[in-house]
Structure 1
Amino acid sequence: MTERNNSAREIAADVTAGRTSAVKTAEAALARIEAARALNAVVTIDPTRTLADAAAVDARLHSGEAMPLAGVPVIVKDNIWAAGWRITQGSRLFADFVAPKDAIAIARLRQAGAVIVGIGATSEFASKGVTTSQLFGPTRHPLDPTLTPGGSSGGPVAAVAAGLVPLAIGTDAGGSSRRPPAHVGVAGFKPSYGAIPYGPGFAEPFFGLSVIAPIAADVADIALAFEVMAGIDPRDPDSAVVAREAEDITDLRIAFSPRLGLDVAVDDVVANGLVSAVERIAATGLRIATRDPVWPAGATEEAIMPLQHAGLAALYGNTFRKDPNVFDPDIARQIERGLSWSGAEVAGALVASTAIANAFAAFFSEADLLLAPTVPCVAWPLTQLGPDTIGGRPASPRAHAVFTPFVNHARLPAISIPCGTDERGLPFGLQIISRRGQDRTLLRAAQRLESVLSA
């Protein structure tokens, strides 16, 4: 990681005050992106478009308009529509697709003065836990180019961690904008489902799960971006009201679950680091009780994965039948699996998803915040879907992802903040989860916990 550049808040203040301009800020971001090409975090740039957009922000400021993100350079994940930009979903099927309009969240960012300086890499259809595609190749970890930052929001996350931009926008359908931030040492926020309107954009294989997710070096920038993007829009029937933040977080009922109540492996450095972080937080006077969610029998990621496979098969199964080689081999296997699931098996996955949501609802009837791991391990070699072992046990390709998907199925808000590193300096994260609609209270609490852990 490079030395931190100014935050989004600082950049907006400087541009608004005339100490710099949106054009100069965009030029500097483009230069950083060019210098970091080996990272492969940013897969599309359009300097002419970017500088024209920045000049328009300067003109708006000159006319007296106030913008909370004035001149802030932003990277947008390569599966979110941004008008006029090539958006590919990391797929050869969409290699030449140009978004015809902005997603609602992107339009709101632009209205607030943000300037898109590039498009961040994703795995194909945002459906892998690492960030690589046949179109663009692998995205590399900013601390060690032989490692992956994880996925599927690896490009936006690596861009923030490397200091290319202060703010990036990803998506999260199973942890894609929480696990990669944990692996590179930045913050990533999954809002409540519907808190930020989703679309217009591509047809979504993760029915009722995926959200727009801001990524930044600190929680305050995430909170700023969230306020810009959140709010009901009639074009998204799932968009929802988010409650006002709690006036005081001191009395919140906080639980700590070292393994989220799951029988899964965790590396010792992560397990011990989480306990140490929670002890530091508790020492500030917050009351924290160790308590696990109680899951229904058979609650595993495997039980809910048919929904992802079937979603991919519904969208791309016909193309797969004609030419499976057009897909990333890992995605092709998911599509093939999706084509094989029976209707009853997919319905069974929906039953499991509902049961997980109900279990979380029961837990949050007696707690306000839940502290848990974001990841059970640190980053692993670039060429692998996951680490060979976790916690001394042989690890399946998805064993690194165990702590995030249930949150999506319950449609809850959750954020990952840095909380420690291993002996090589590789980061891992603390995940903070709350009940649906309590996004602002969660962000306020996360800022307080972040200040403790970064001290």
Structure 2
Amino acid sequence: MSRLLDSLPELDAASLAVAVARGEVSLAEVAESFIAAVDARNPGINALVRFDGDALRSQLADLEALQRSGRPAPLLGVPFSVKDTIWVQGRKATQGSRLFADFVAPQDALAVQRLRRAGALVLGHSNSSEFACKGVTTNKLYGPTRNPWNLDMTPGGSSGGAAAAVSAGLGPFALCTDGGGSTRRPASHTGVVGFKPSAGLIPHPVGFQEPLFGNGVIGLMSRSVADLGLLLPVLAGGDARDPDAPVGLPGFDAGAALAPVKGLRIALSPRLGLDVPVEPEVAAAIEQVAAVLRDAGATVQERDPAWPPGAGEAAFATLQFAGLAALYGEQWRRNPEQFDVDIGAQIEQGMGLSGAAVAAAHFERAQLYRSMADLFSHCDAVLTPTTPCTAWPFTELGPQTIDGQAVSPRGHAVFTPIINHSFHAAISVPCGLAANGLPMGAQIIVPRFQDGRALALGRAVEEAFGHAFAAPKWPFG
């Protein structure tokens, strides 16, 4: 293969789309290059749990016809992976659960449909924790996904398969979900860009019922911030079938994504106003990001949200557990052996919740929303760590300690779920490597429907730190 063909898995989506548009590489050559990459790299990490080279080749005829037609196709020939919780017509979608081991999606999810219309190639399905409800990526159907930066470590979850795939060059972007940080945290752990759009920006009316009560959104991982600027105009836009994203809500402002950050007010919140430990290297990296934004002309001042007493993950967990119990409680009662033991424990807790407890969680969500609204009256964006630590061994639910303090298995997840509760947009951008050689990520949170501003700020960070953290670690070591 030519040098260009050899390098295709290392490109971001924007660069690959340009190469196809200019005729520097054919659609068939793109397909064969990524088939070879998956065959060589995926066995070591188990990022893609279902991949068929012939299924990839079968899409080429339609894409070649699209190419000849001259119709706009901004993603022509760009391969992407799809999280195993998202439907692709005629293909299995299991949610990492034995309950759905033989389920075949009757139609495409709307996001998949829109990406296909833009010329993108469906590469395969990426691994997910069962029902996307766990902070590491493993399940009884497909086993664990490993982190390309260190095969003993997890990429996080629940979209760990997507993160490992993008990091390893198995598609320049991934379609996934984010119900409490499932896109942003794995992106941070694998050195790629992770984006949680504003609730309502990307509709998701076709697919599985999710136990998240409005917290979950379609998420994106990519090899560069520029890729998000290519993807969001394709994916954004309401749908009458989705009550959380109806027609008429604000769309994606592409111009804001390219705007300078000079003059923006950034609230630096090292712990997001929570009493939680953070590894010193992560804290230092976030201070460096703050310095980068100051150098770019932003005003950066330390300011925390004023949360209601007891704020944290409790309301998020209550809604997730109740949702799991409502959807799968009866199956769990009949045959608990079908379930991941950790998911079974969540279902059991959900079965014991009262209606009053679920209502209280909804009230708390409204309080969190108001707290963020008050913070955004003083700033244009908030800067925090994406996670307080780097990745941990894939055999464990979470790190046992952070900065020397014992933490719960969810101690790594403290900075992301509240943003789902408050419906805002957030991006995780690589911002350095820790002494252990693992990536760290900075989370930038912006007001709802100001998604373009997150990309502008992410781009400024990316330009300062470079793309090195998104490079595939191959061969894995």
* Pair in the same fold by TM > 0.5: yes
Q: Is the 8 A contact 1:184 1:427 kept in 2?
A: yes
Moved more, 305-314 or 244-253: 244-253
Output one character per residue of 1:350-403: Cα deviation in whole Å (capped at 9) or x when no partner.
111111111111111221111111000000011000011001101110000000
Q: Is the 8 A contact 1:22 1:55 kept in 2?
A: no
Structure 1 residues 193-342: aligned runs within 5 Å = 193-239=199-245, 240-242=249-251, 244=253, 245-246=255-256, 247-342=259-354
Match of 2:62 in 1: 56
Report the Cα offset of residue 34 of structure 1. Answer: 1.2
Secondary structure at the aligned position of 1:420 is classed as strand
* Matched residue type, 2:111: A
Q: Is the 8 A contact 1:173 1:408 kept in 2?
A: yes
Which of 350, 363, 374 pairs up with 1:351? 363
Q: Is the 8 A contact 2:431 2:461 kept in 1?
A: no
Matched residues in 2 for 1:397 and 1:228: separation? 37
Normalised TM-score (structure 1): 0.97
Q: Is the 8 A contact 1:75 1:118 kept in 2?
A: yes
Match of 1:43 in 2: 49
Matched residues in 1 for 2:422 and 2:454: separation? 16
Q: Is the 8 A contact 1:15 1:70 kept in 2?
A: yes
* Matched residue type, 1:227: P
Match of 2:129 in 1: 123
Matched residues in 2 for 1:52 and 1:181: separation? 30
Output one character per residue of 1:36-56: Cα deviation in whole Å (capped at 9) or x when no partner.
212100001132222111231
Output one character per residue of 1:52-109: Cα deviation in whole Å (capped at 9) or x when no partner.
1123112210232231000001000000111112111000011111111111111000
Report the Cα offset of residue 9 of structure 1. Answer: 1.3
* Matched residue type, 1:110: R
Match of 2:98 in 1: 92
Matched residues in 2 for 1:3 and 1:143: separation? 20
Report the Cα offset of residue 163 of structure 1. Answer: 1.2
Matched residues in 2 for 1:276 and 1:443: separation? 18
2:428 is the counterpart of 1:416: yes
Which of 31, 38, 50 pairs up with 1:33? 38
Report the Cα offset of residue 206 of structure 1. Answer: 0.6
Match of 2:409 in 1: 397
Matched residues in 2 for 1:179 and 1:132: separation? 15
Moved more, 398-407 or 299-308: 299-308
Matched residues in 2 for 1:60 and 1:243: separation? 25
Secondary structure at the aligned position of 1:372 is classed as strand
Match of 1:166 in 2: 172
Match of 1:188 in 2: 194
- RMSD of equivalent CA atoms: 1.5
Moved more, 57-66 or 105-114: 57-66
Which of 344, 361, 375 pairs up with 1:363? 375
Report the Cα offset of residue 248 of structure 1. Answer: 4.4
Matched residues in 2 for 1:430 and 1:393: separation? 22
2:188 is the counterpart of 1:179: no
Which of 446, 450, 464 pairs up with 1:434? 446
Secondary structure at the aligned position of 1:304 is classed as helix
Moved more, 37-46 or 134-143: 37-46
Matched residues in 2 for 1:375 and 1:124: separation? 22
Moved more, 405-414 or 32-41: 32-41
Matched residues in 1 for 2:12 and 2:167: separation? 12
Q: Is the 8 A contact 1:86 1:99 kept in 2?
A: yes
Report the Cα offset of residue 191 of structure 1. Answer: 0.1
Moved more, 394-403 or 29-38: 29-38
Report the Cα offset of residue 307 of structure 1. Answer: 0.6
Secondary structure at the aligned position of 2:384 is classed as strand
Q: Is the 8 A contact 1:21 1:58 kept in 2?
A: no
How many percent identity over aligned positions?
49
* Matched residue type, 1:339: M
Matched residues in 2 for 1:435 and 1:387: separation? 31
Q: Is the 8 A contact 2:194 2:222 kept in 1?
A: yes
Report the Cα offset of residue 345 of structure 1. Answer: 1.2
Structure 1 residues 211 and 307, CA gap change in structure 2 (3 angstroms)? same
Matched residues in 2 for 1:189 and 1:53: separation? 27
Matched residues in 1 for 2:251 and 2:453: separation? 10
Matched residues in 1 for 2:103 and 2:311: separation? 38
Match of 2:78 in 1: 72
Q: Is the 8 A contact 1:74 1:165 kept in 2?
A: yes
Match of 2:13 in 1: 8
Q: Is the 8 A contact 2:180 2:418 kept in 1?
A: yes
The unaligned stretches of length 5 or more in structure 1 are none
Match of 2:473 in 1: none
Output one character per residue of 1:248-286: Cα deviation in whole Å (capped at 9) or x when no partner.
432222111011011001011111121122123312332
* Matched residue type, 2:15: E
2:469 is the counterpart of 1:453: no
Moved more, 378-387 or 50-59: 50-59
Matched residues in 1 for 2:393 and 2:60: separation? 38
How many residues align? The count is 454
Matched residues in 2 for 1:22 and 1:369: separation? 40
Report the Cα offset of residue 19 of structure 1. Answer: 1.9
* Matched residue type, 2:181: G
Report the Cα offset of residue 3 of structure 1. Answer: 10
Matched residues in 2 for 1:93 and 1:367: separation? 46
Matched residues in 2 for 1:311 and 1:134: separation? 21
Report the Cα offset of residue 311 of structure 1. Answer: 0.3
Matched residues in 1 for 2:269 and 2:19: separation? 42
Structure 1 residues 96-107: aligned runs within 5 Å = 96-107=102-113
* Matched residue type, 2:290: V
Q: Is the 8 A contact 2:90 2:105 kept in 1?
A: yes
Normalised TM-score (structure 2): 0.93
2:433 is the counterpart of 1:425: no
Secondary structure at the aligned position of 1:137 is classed as coil
